[in-house]
Amino acid sequence: MSIRERLSGNEAAAIAMKQINPDVVAAFPITPSTEIPQYFSTFVSNGTVDTEFVAVESEHSAMSACIGAEAAGSRAMTATSANGLSLMWEMIYIASSLRLPIVMSLVNRAVSGPLNIHNDHSDAMGVRDAGWIMLFSENNQEAYDNLLMAHRIAEHKDVLLPLMVCQDGFITSHSIENIELVEDEKVKEFVGTYKPEHYLLNRKEPMAIGPLDVQPYLFEHKYQQANAMRNAKKVIEEVSKEFEKMTGRKYSFFEEYKLDDAEIAIVCMNSTAGTTKFVVDSLRAKGIKAGLLKVRMFRPFPAEEIANALSHLKAVAVLDKSDSLNGAGGALFEDVTSSMYVNKKQVPVVNYVYGIGGRDTTSYDIEGVYKDLMEIAKTGETGNPYRYFGVRREK
Amino acid sequence: MKITPNTPAEEMTIAGNIYDAGNSLEFKTGDWRSVKPIYISEKCKQCGLCFPVCPDDAIPVNKDQKREDFNYDYCKGCGVCAKVCPFGAIEMK
């Protein structure tokens, strides 16, 4: 029997880490992810876990320590947010290019400045091309479940890539909701022990990691990384199926909520999906065929699958909780629209940048988007696709 | 396993990992050189000042404690040896 609890998103992540019992956790506090290493360090002090907790002096050091630990042959985890991730930037690329399956909890927050500690996705979007697998979580349950699946995906021999589990700062990380936990023993069995094929502390096989990689070689190593990312799709599918067998909770590349017979739909990630589901239900009660596609697996990006899932719609809105400041549209919008173009699915698509710096996203805002979509579905005209909601402007 | 500029990506180790030890000798850094030290043996007094300063161990010393000509497989042409030679027995060209 699973355990019924009520936990915040940060508590859920810390409990997942406790159950995983990694060899090393190196982390530096930063709002809103601070509580994860804070709770976890109490597990270390109480002897509930066998982990070596490294209280580093910066996030750059946190990621460096994780890289060292993982290269040595141990399982390493960390947690961070926003500017903490920015400070890790250099080492984020080292971790993925050295093919070290480190697992991170990223509690999404606006990257300053001006200084803001609240939720948006600008931190995650900044590392979207860094070669990390990126899973997004609507609520505490998904943040917990994604973490339980993380090592199985990241450490798979066909993958060997670091993985980050994202959840919305404060909205998810600090809100207490019901959750179903898996028993410790079952988690232990599911996650398994880490047995790397090659590692630095293997005295039977001396090895060098991260050597000089000049013109005849780096391109091939990047190609290998890209292949590993392509392989990750199949592994994520397999591990999610196995997880479903254990818990009954189904995870795919994305969740389709009343999308099958929908005429208009929203594509979004993380907690906004919860608000959107509420709005979809209320619109459905009025006979409006609204649907939702919630992206869980952002990297690798399920391009073909998303294009197919949206192909029957009359109008689509992609919501970006981060502005790419490129004069053309947000990151999720660009990924979705290019996927549709390449797969020859012609549907009017618009983009809304929203929720920046923790701006509230209400059901009225989402209703407004569906209202716009109904108009677009009627006329087929998108007008300017690069839009906003929730920002104050002159009338 | 020997990886060369002709090895396909599928056969290369991931991340450029080298599963072996003591193989820096296989990495010939001599082609980084833009200027070359020339050893003029007639001027050399075998004073022993040059080989300890070579960062690449590219000045071989024989069992009679005498230096021999440069090992150009590893000499990067930094010129430190020419600077320390009091007798002008090393010229950079």
Q: How far is A251 from chain B (nearest CA, A)?
A: 30
> Is the pLDDT confidence value at A1 over 70?
no
Q: Is the pLDDT of residue A325 over 90?
A: yes
* Cβ pairs bridging A and B (under 8 Å): 48
Please report residues of B whose CB lies closer than 8 A to that of A199. none
Which of B74, B67, B73, B72 has its CA nearest to residue B89?
B67
Whether A333 shows a pLDDT value over 90: the answer reads: yes
Residue A31 confidence (pLDDT): 97
Most A CBs within 10 A among B4, B10, B17, hence the mutation to make, goes to B17
DSSP 8-state class, residue B18:
B
> What is the structure's pLDDT at A338?
98
Q: Could you tell me the sign of the dihedral formed by the alpha carbons of A357, A360, A331, A137, in that order?
A: positive
Q: In A28-69, at which residue ranges do the beta strands (DSSP E only) sit?
A: 52-55
Using a CB-CB distance cutoff of 8 angstroms, which residues of chain B are in contact with residue A102?
Answer: none
Please tell me the predicted confidence (pLDDT) of residue B22: 86
Interface membership of A278 toward B (CB under 8 Å):
no
Instruction: Return the percentage of chain A with pLDDT > 90, whole number.
Output: 99
Separation in Å, CA of A328 to nearest CA in chain B:
35
The answer to whether the CB atoms of B15 and A205 lie below 8 A apart is: no
Task: State which residue of chain A sits closest to B21, comparing Cα positions.
Answer: A206
The structural domains of chain A, ordered by start, are 3-247 (3.40.50.970), 254-388 (3.40.50.920)
Alpha helices in A49-175 (DSSP H): 59-72, 82-97, 122-126, 140-154
Cβ of B12 and A221 within 8 Å? Answer: yes
Give the integer Cα–Cα distance in Å for A148 and A142.
Answer: 10
- Mean residue pLDDT of chain A comes to 97
Question: Which residues 193-222 of chain A have a CB within 8 Å of chain B?
Answer: 198, 205-211, 213, 216-217, 220-221
Q: How confident is the model at residue B66 (pLDDT cuts 50, 70, 90)?
A: very high
B12 and A213 within 8 Å at the Cβ level: the answer is no
Q: Categorize the per-residue pLDDT at A241 as very low, low, confident or very high, splitting at 50, 70 and 90.
A: very high
Do the chains contact at A210 and B20, CB–CB below 8 Å? no
Cβ of B18 and A211 within 8 Å?
yes
Using 50, 70 and 90 to split pLDDT, how confident is the model at A108? very high
Question: What distance in Å separates residue A69's CA from the closest CA in chain B?
Answer: 16
The H-assigned helical ranges of A177-286 are 184-191, 218-247, 272-285
Asked if the model's pLDDT at residue A395 lies above 90, the reply is: no
User: Coil, strand, or helix at residue A253?
Assistant: coil
Q: What average pLDDT score do residues A245-271 get? A: 98
For residues A91-117, average pLDDT: 98
Q: What is the mean pLDDT of residues A115-133?
A: 98
Residues A198-215 as b or e (16 or more Cβ within 10 Å = b): bbbeeeeeebebeeeeee
Q: Give φ, ψ of A349 to 5 degrees.
A: -125, 135
Vertex B69: Cα angle to B64 and B71 (nearest 5): 110
What's the rounded Cα separation, in Å, for the pair A262 and A257?
A: 9
pTM of structure: 0.93
Contact state of B19 with A207 under an 8 Å Cβ cutoff: yes
In whole angstroms, how far apart are CA A104 and each of A60, A147, A154, A283? 14, 9, 11, 37
A109 class by beta-carbon count within 10 Å (0-12 exposed, 13-18 middle, 19+ buried): buried
Question: What pLDDT score does B26 carry?
Answer: 86
- Residue closest to A65 by CA, chosen among A31, A33, A32, A37: A37
Give A217's contacts in chain B (Cβ within 8 Å).
Answer: 3, 5, 12, 16
Mean pLDDT of B28-44: 95
pLDDT of residue A125: 98
Would the CB atoms of A198 and B16 count as touching at under 8 Å?
no
Token duo for residue B3: 């990886």
- The Cα–Cα gap between A66 and A84 comes to 14
- B17 CB within 8 Å of a chain A CB: yes
Choose the closest CB to A221 out of B5, B16, B19: B16
For a pLDDT cut of 70, what percent of chain A falls above it? 100
